């Protein structure tokens, strides 16, 4: 049976997500920004929390872990390179490791840049990816702990995922990201189409996620820094892709 996902808001603009295996009844929270919205989502779905899969150590992704762990005695799985900054960790994972939630099987893709060793969690059979704060829809996370070169390499790793993979990420930033992306690629038809779709979703008070990796590859400037037209658009024709990526990321920081 295919995995089921429930998406909900936490804190100011964080997404919480539950990943449920109907076969075994197991349910994982992908990150735990705060406990109460996770509890509410569990109650609505009628699911029991068995696991918390943590993408990275930031407090707005880990603040609910201790309370949820105390109540549900769930397993907490965290990136090996960041486990010291995450409460109540039971297991650590690194690049290429397998994560199981009942019968659902995922692979860990280490995507350094936003932090030193975050886990992006890819579930190939279910065509799902949870990218934390590494990749957003039409955006990417701030490069805080890693280098621009490392973040660009992380973008390339995620760009290699199949087009029909559904993308979930840590924040509802999509509309603001689109506004910025239009300053880079002013006449990208896929970007305009995504904007129209996102505006309809927001008008209907619905989340703008998931998107698909196909949509992101066509419209997310941070995944497109090695395309000649994107380098040209920022006045860097012929420059290394990581430098073009850095220029776009720096422009976004000032936007
Ligand atoms: Zn973060």
Instruction: Per residue of the chain (255 residues), give pLDDT as tens.
Output: 899 999 999 999 999 999 999 999 999 999 999 999 999 999 999 999 999 999 999 999 999 999 999 999 999 999 999 999 999 999 999 999 999 999 999 999 999 999 999 999 999 999 999 999 999 999 999 999 999 999 999 999 999 999 999 999 999 999 999 999 999 999 999 999 999 999 999 999 999 999 999 999 999 999 999 999 999 999 999 999 999 999 999 999 999
- Cβ-Cβ contacts under 8 Å for 154 (sequence gap 6 or more): 111, 112, 113, 120, 134, 146
> Residue 141 C-alpha to ligand 1 middle, in angstroms?
7
Query: pTM of whole model > 0.95?
Result: yes
CA of 246 to the centre of ligand 1 (A): 18
Question: What is the pLDDT at residue 15?
Answer: 97
Ligand 1 centroid vs 117 CA: distance in angstroms?
11
CB 210 within 8 A of CB 172: no
Distance 114 CA to ligand 1 centre (A): 7
What pLDDT score does 1 carry?
86
The C-alpha atoms of residue 221 and residue 249 are separated, in whole angstroms, by 9
- Per-residue pLDDT, 231: 98
Bin 60: left if φ > 0, else alpha if -120 < ψ < 50, else beta: alpha
């Amino acid at each position: 049976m295919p995995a089921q996902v429930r998406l909900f808001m936490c804190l100011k603009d964080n997404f919480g997500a539950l990943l449920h295996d109907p076969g075994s009844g197991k349910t994982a929270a992908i990150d735990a920004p705060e406990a109460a919205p996770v509890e509410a989502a569990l109650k609505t779905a009628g699911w029991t929390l068995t696991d918390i899969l943590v993408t990275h150590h930031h407090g707005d992704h880990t603040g609910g872990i201790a309370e949820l762990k105390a109540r549900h005695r769930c397993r907490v799985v965290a990136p090996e390179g960041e486990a010291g900054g995450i409460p109540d960790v039971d297991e650590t994972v690194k690049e290429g490791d397998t994560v199981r939630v009942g019968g659902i099987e995922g692979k860990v893709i280490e995507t350094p840049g936003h932090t030193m060793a975050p886990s992006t969690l890819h579930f190939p059979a279910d065509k799902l990816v949870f990218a934390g704060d590494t990749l957003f829809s039409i955006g990417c996370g701030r490069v805080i702990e890693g280098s621009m070169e490392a973040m660009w390499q992380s973008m390339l790793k995620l760009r290699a995922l199949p087009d029909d993979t559904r993308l979930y990420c840590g924040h509802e930033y999509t509309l603001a990201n689109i506004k910025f992306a239009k300053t880079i690629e002013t006449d990208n038809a896929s970007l305009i189409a995504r904007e129209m779709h996102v505006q309809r979703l927001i008008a209907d008070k619905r989340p703008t996620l998931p998107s698909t990796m196909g949509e992101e590859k066509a419209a997310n400037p941070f995944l497109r820094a090695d395309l000649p037209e994107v380098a040209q658009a920022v006045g860097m024709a012929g420059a290394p892709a990581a430098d073009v990526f850095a220029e776009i990321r720096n422009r976004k920081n000032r936007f």
